[in-house]
């Protein structure tokens, strides 16, 4: 069955075409995102949800999203998605980090000019037939200092454009390296210095607990008198009430705002001030940007739903479309090894070590580790997947260690899993054969070669004559058909193991009979 995607915001039709061309069923309901109740009622029918900023993906929506695998944000900010709730549910959240950067940077520059020359007010006055030539006296931006708070993708483009406009650019961004600053031609400064020196300030950070109210009342009055402030990033970076006061006091000469604490902004403290220019979150609103982000999100979501490729996910490691086919059998191996250990584990897991040897050490081991932890915890938490597993493991205090070794002995690639519980350490290793099928090659140091089947019986025993016959006879008498039978032992007469693939399920009563056989230490039915 083709995967189904709901587009619940106004995305360019280019997205629908891409979904359909790629074999994904796409329902375009651009106003549904604004209706929480309706969205909650239908979300259970979809594998993917494509959104812009109007759809709010809350825990309540996610609670109904039984099939949902991916949320694609056609844009940058994912603050309208409850990421922890999506992650806990195993839903990948991806964005399109570059598609609208130029457009948004241009909007910041446009607002800077609009504020510097009061263009919107002059337009209204002129079209009202007033010809108020003496009312509007602007400032030049040439040779002025622009202070950029947040010099990432958009901030950097703003910097380049501003330098082209002959501005002096200073930037505050704790993650901006001195080399990058030099390449851009911007001076890296501390926030206080930026406030003290800038004639114009533009914000380009996400809204986080660190950046909320980065421009508050104190900051405003530390700025140069006559400063002009542009916010095309997120409402909440600037204290709107304090800014209004600073505007009213004549300390701040103007403000250009595209984003607001509450959106849609129907009322706002900034509204009505003559030196304020507002737009309704239009930063990304050009046909070029909307086409870019729509195409990109549709491609990324289709790649994930159809091929398992993960790009630009904010809550999961990336898997490229090229590596996905090569990685897939190892994902299956890692998950099955995890599942093997998880099904044998009755007490709390405290640590997991995953060793990658040979070719597999050069693969995307972060994804493989997530798969192994998924398999390990699935017997306890049915809903876990590769997205939620690392977070759940962290929440449960499970220490995860990855070891990479380029060399492997007998096999091209080996994945070894060691799971520590309160009282025990369990070890299992496997490989992928040329046929792409995962095999177990080692259990607690005992070599064996066994394929995984949907239903298996795992037995540990003492290596004694007669045991294998007794096991076969017990299964046969119970009408349990053996598909494959693999044995291994540490040494003659020592610890031994048997892995038996069964056709169909093995009843608990039969497992108990096996457990009761002479020389058997432990018998457990496993499902994969």
Ligand X SMILES: O=C(O)CCC(=O)C(=O)O
Which residues have a Cβ under 8 Å from the Cβ of 410 and sit 6 or more positions away?
none
The reply to whether 291 sits near ligand NAI by the rule CB under 6 A is no
CB 401 within 8 A of CB 352: yes
Distance CA 406, CA 75 (A): 39
Q: Which of 508, 98, 43, 19 is nearest to 288 (CA)?
A: 98
CB of 290 to ligand X, least distance (A): 8
- C-beta neighbour count of 482 within 10 angstroms: 14
CB of 447 to ligand NAI, least distance (A): 49
Known active-site residue 234:
yes
The reply to whether 77 sits near ligand NAI by the rule CB under 6 A is yes
3-state SS of 264-301 is CCCCCCCCCCCCEEECCCCCCCCHHHHHHHHHHHHHHH
Distance CA 136, CA 153 (A): 34
Which of ligand NAI, ligand X, none does 80 bind, CB closer than 5 to 8 A by kind? none
**Which residue stretch of 60-68, 276-284, 336-344, 497-505 sits at the interface with ligand X (rule: CB under 6 A)?**
276-284
x/- letters, 447..466, toward ligand X (CB under 6 A): --------------------
Q: Is 20 helix (H, G, I), strand (E, B) or coil?
A: helix
Known active-site residue 281:
yes
The reply to whether 315 sits near ligand X by the rule CB under 6 A is no
Distance CA 468, CA 215 (A): 75
Binds ligand X by CB under 6 A, chosen from 16, 22, 24, 53: 53
Give whichever of 289 and 415 is closer to ligand NAI, judged by the CB atom: 289
Give whichever of 35 and 263 is closer to ligand NAI, judged by the CB atom: 263
**How far, rounded to the nearest angstrom, does the alpha carbon of residue 81 sit from its chain's CA centroid?**
11
The reply to whether 76 sits near ligand NAI by the rule CB under 6 A is yes
The reply to whether 260 sits near ligand NAI by the rule CB under 6 A is no
Strands 438-443 and 446-451 come out as antiparallel
Binds ligand X by CB under 6 A, chosen from 52, 168, 378, 426: 52
Distance CA 221, CA 525 (A): 70
Binds ligand X by CB under 6 A, chosen from 100, 343, 365, 369: 100
Residues 76-95 within binding reach of ligand X (CB under 6 A): 76-77
- C-beta neighbour count of 445 within 10 angstroms: 10
Q: Which of 107, 244, 281, 439 is catalytic?
A: 281
Binds ligand NAI by CB under 6 A, chosen from 175, 272, 465, 492: 175
Known active-site residue 353:
no
CA dihedral 444, 447, 452, 458 (to 10 degrees): -50
Strands 455-462 and 92-94 come out as unpaired
CB 80 within 8 A of CB 36: no
x/- letters, 204..243, toward ligand NAI (CB under 6 A): xxx---xx--------------------xxx---------
Give whichever of 210 and 465 is closer to ligand NAI, judged by the CB atom: 210
The reply to whether 75 sits near ligand X by the rule CB under 6 A is yes
Burial class (CB in 10 A: 0-12, 13-18, 19+), 274: exposed
Q: Which of 160, 263, 291, 402 is catalytic?
A: 263
CB 426 within 8 A of CB 444: yes
- C-beta neighbour count of 249 within 10 angstroms: 11
The reply to whether 97 sits near ligand X by the rule CB under 6 A is no
Binding site for ligand NAI (CB under 6 A): 75-77, 97, 100-101, 104, 149-155, 172-175, 204-206, 210-211, 232-234, 258-259, 281, 283-284
The catalytic residue positions are 234, 263, 281
Binding site for ligand X (CB under 6 A): 52-53, 75-77, 100, 281, 283-285
């Amino acid at each position: 069955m083709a995967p189904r995607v709901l587009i619940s915001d106004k995305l360019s039709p280019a997205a629908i075409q891409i979904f359909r061309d790629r074999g994904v069923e796409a329902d375009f309901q651009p106003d549904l995102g604004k209706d929480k109740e309706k969205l909650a009622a239908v979300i259970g029918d979809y594998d993917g949800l494509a959104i812009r900023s109007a759809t709010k993906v809350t825990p309540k929506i996610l609670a109904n999203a039984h099939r949902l695998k991916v949320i694609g944000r056609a844009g940058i900010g994912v603050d309208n998605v409850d990421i922890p709730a999506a992650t806990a549910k195993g839903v990948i959240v991806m964005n399109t980090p570059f598609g609208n950067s130029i457009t948004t940077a241009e909007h910041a520059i446009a607002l800077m000019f609009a504020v510097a020359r009061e263009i919107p007010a002059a337009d209204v006055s002129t079209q009202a037939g007033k010809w108020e030539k003496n009312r509007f006296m602007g400032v030049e931006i040439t040779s002025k200092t622009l202070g950029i708070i947040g010099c990432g993708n958009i901030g950097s483009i703003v910097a380049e454009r501003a330098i082209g406009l002959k501005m002096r650019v200073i930037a505050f961004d704790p993650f901006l390296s001195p080399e990058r600053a030099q390449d851009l031609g911007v001076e890296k400064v501390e926030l206080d210095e930026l406030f003290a020196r800038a004639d114009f300030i533009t914000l380009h950070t996400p809204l986080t607990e660190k950046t909320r109210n980065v421009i508050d009342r104190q900051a405003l009055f530390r700025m140069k008198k006559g400063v002009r402030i542009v916010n095309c990033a997120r409402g909440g970076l600037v204290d709107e009430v304090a800014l209004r006061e600073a505007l009213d006091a004549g300390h701040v000469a103007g403000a250009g705002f595209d984003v607001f604490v509450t959106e849609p902004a129907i009322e706002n403290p900034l509204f009505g001030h003559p030196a304020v220019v507002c737009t309704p979150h239009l930063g990304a609103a050009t046909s070029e940007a909307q086409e870019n982000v729509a195409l990109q999100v549709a491609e990324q979501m289709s790649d994930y739903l159809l091929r398992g490729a993960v790009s630009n996910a904010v809550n999961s490691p990336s898997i490229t479309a090229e590596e996905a086919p090569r990685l897939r059998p190892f994902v299956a191996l890692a998950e099955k090894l995890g599942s093997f250990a998880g099904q044998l584990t009755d007490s709390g897991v405290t640590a997991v070590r995953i060793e990658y040897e040979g070719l597999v050490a050069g693969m995307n081991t972060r994804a493989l580790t997530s798969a192994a932890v998924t398999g390990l915890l699935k017997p306890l938490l049915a809903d876990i997947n590769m997205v939620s597993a690392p977070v759940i493991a962290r929440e449960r205090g499970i220490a995860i260690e990855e070891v990479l070794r380029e060399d492997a002995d007998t096999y091209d690639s080996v994945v070894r899993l060691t799971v520590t519980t309160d009282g025990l350490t369990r070890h299992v290793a496997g490989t992928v054969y040329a046929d792409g099928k995962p095999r177990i090659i080692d259990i607690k140091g005992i070599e064996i070669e066994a394929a995984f089947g949907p239903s298996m019986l795992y037995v540990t025993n003492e290596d004694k004559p007669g045991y294998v016959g007794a096991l076969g006879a017990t299964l046969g008498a119970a009408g349990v058909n053996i598909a494959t039978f693999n044995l291994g032992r540490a040494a003659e007469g020592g610890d031994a193991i048997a892995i038996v693939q069964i056709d169909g399920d093995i009843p608990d009563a039969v497992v108990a009979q096996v457990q009761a056989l002479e020389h058997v230490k432990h018998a457990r039915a496993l499902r994969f």
